[in-house]
Amino acid sequence: MQPSRLQIWFLACRPKTLSVSLSPVLVGTAVAWHDSSALVWLPLLAAAFGAAFIQIGTNLFNDVGDFLRGTDTPERLGPKRATAEGWLTPGKVKAGAWLSFTLAFLCGIYLVAHGGWPIVIIGLASLAAGWAYTSGPKPIAYGPLGECFVFLFFGLVAVGGSYYLQTLTLSPIALIAATLVGIHAAAVITVNNYRDLDGDAKSGKNTLAVRFGRPATRRIYTAEMLAPYALLPLLHSLGWLAALPMLSLPLALKLISRFHREAPGPVFNNILAATAGLQLAFAILLTLSFTI
Q: Residues with Cβ < 8 Å from 74, sequence gap 6 or more? A: none
Task: Tell me the pLDDT tens digit for each residue of 177-219.
Answer: 999 999 999 999 999 999 999 988 988 889 999 999 999 999 9
Burial class (CB in 10 A: 0-12, 13-18, 19+), 104: buried
Task: Tell me the pLDDT tens digit for each residue of 112-167.
Answer: 999 999 999 999 999 999 899 888 788 898 999 999 999 999 999 999 999 999 99
Q: Residues with Cβ < 8 Å from 115, sequence gap 6 or more? A: 43, 164, 165, 168
pLDDT at 75 exceeding the cut of 80: no
Rounded Cα distance between 51 and 256, Å, is 28
Largest CA distance in the chain: 55
The closest alpha carbon to 197, from 243, 265, 121, 250, belongs to 265
Q: Residues with Cβ < 8 Å from 260, sequence gap 6 or more? A: 218, 222
Q: Residues with Cβ < 8 Å from 191, sequence gap 6 or more? A: 221, 259, 268, 271, 272, 275
Share of the chain above pLDDT 70, in %: 98
Q: Taking a C-beta distance cutoff of 8 angstroms, is the pair 245, 225 a contact? A: no
The mean of the pLDDT values for the chain is: 93
Q: Residues with Cβ < 8 Å from 256, sequence gap 6 or more? A: 221, 222, 225, 226
pLDDT (0 to 100) of residue 73: 65
Task: Tell me the pLDDT tens digit for each residue of 6-23.
Answer: 999 999 999 989 999 999
pLDDT (0 to 100) of residue 147: 96
**pLDDT higher at 78 or 267:** 267
Domains assigned to the chain: 17-291 (1.10.600)
The closest alpha carbon to 182, from 137, 147, 234, belongs to 147
Query: Please, what is the angle between helix 41-68 and helix 19-36, to 10°?
Result: 160
The 3-state DSSP composition of the chain as helix, strand, coil percent (nearest 5) reads 80, 0, 20
pLDDT (0 to 100) of residue 178: 98
**pLDDT higher at 92 or 79:** 92
